[in-house]
Amino acid sequence: MFSPYYARARKRSAQADPNHHCALNLIFYERGKTPVWIFREYAQTTVIERTATRFALGHSVVETRGAQEVWSFRERTTPFPKLIPREIVGSITLDNPYPWAPAAPVLLAAQGQHQWWPMTPKTRLTVNVPALGWQWQGDGYCDANAGEAPLEDAFSSWSWGRFHLPDGATLIAYDAVARHEAPLSLRLHASAAGDRIAYESESLPLVTCATSRWGLPVSAPGSVGGPRPVVQQTFEDTPFYARHQVQTSLGGTLTNGVVETLSLDRFQARWVRNLLPFRLRRA
């Protein structure tokens, strides 16, 4: 949905085929080091296979193996921020990837043009990337978005955050400013045991805690009367998108999480779209 090539194709024809613009985006962060960034878009002739349990794109594959979902990849990094691209081979594995999957996605727009499906609020994740010397396990997350119209036509901005609580539960906050509808504010609480998911719309207000280098407001949910959220680390800081690690107070308990900020008003600017090809390879 952020492909400048797909945007150009849509301008030429309303029936532009998204299958000609499938992309794989991988970003690996290590504290104090430049991120390893992979973002490659493929034409339809490169899509090797697409079934209910397997999707192969170039030399990379996403497939279900029993109670696991495995992402195997062999890709070259983009030229920026590292000028010399290199090949990265590895895998990411989600254990029991959809134990908590809701029966239906959440409608982000009243007419259903845009949907969000938090399939796995929390699961075990294994990362194996020999080229980076990485082999570790941690907490993972998996969701999906789907839409029938350009995202920027429906929303001007949104803020998303995910926080793991001390008791093992997970909180996901989703706040969006719609262009033609009332603002959206969702709070999803997933229990540690995976036997309960609850949606709320009036708890834990969104609190702006910082401004990114490009002027985007960084926000996170916070307890009323509690300490303000604090940015602890910046992962991405771009003209229209930012990702941070934030510490906040939830129910009186301090916890860390990841928040994402997206400005679709900024994304629509021509000068921003002209920058996107520098971070994207087109195969």
Structure tokens at 174: 């989703």
* d(C-alpha 238, C-alpha 201), whole Å: 29
pLDDT in tens, 138-185: 988 889 898 888 888 899 999 999 998 888 889 999 999 999 888 889
Helix (H) or strand (E) holding 247: strand 241-250
Encoded tokens for 274: 């002209």
Give the pLDDT confidence score for residue 32 in this predicted structure: 74
Rounded CA gap, 8 and 162, in Å?
33
| Confidence (pTM) | 0.88
What is the overall mean pLDDT for the chain? Answer: 87
DSSP E strands in 130-229: the ranges are 134-147, 155-164, 170-178, 184-190, 197-200, 206-211, 217-221
Per-residue pLDDT of the chain (283 residues; tens, 9 = 90+): 788 888 888 888 878 888 888 899 999 998 878 888 899 898 877 777 889 899 999 899 999 998 899 999 999 988 666 667 889 999 999 997 666 666 678 888 877 789 998 888 888 999 999 988 999 999 888 898 988 888 888 999 999 999 988 888 899 999 999 998 888 899 988 888 766 777 776 678 899 999 999 999 999 999 888 889 999 999 999 999 999 999 999 888 899 999 999 999 999 888 888 888 777 888 7
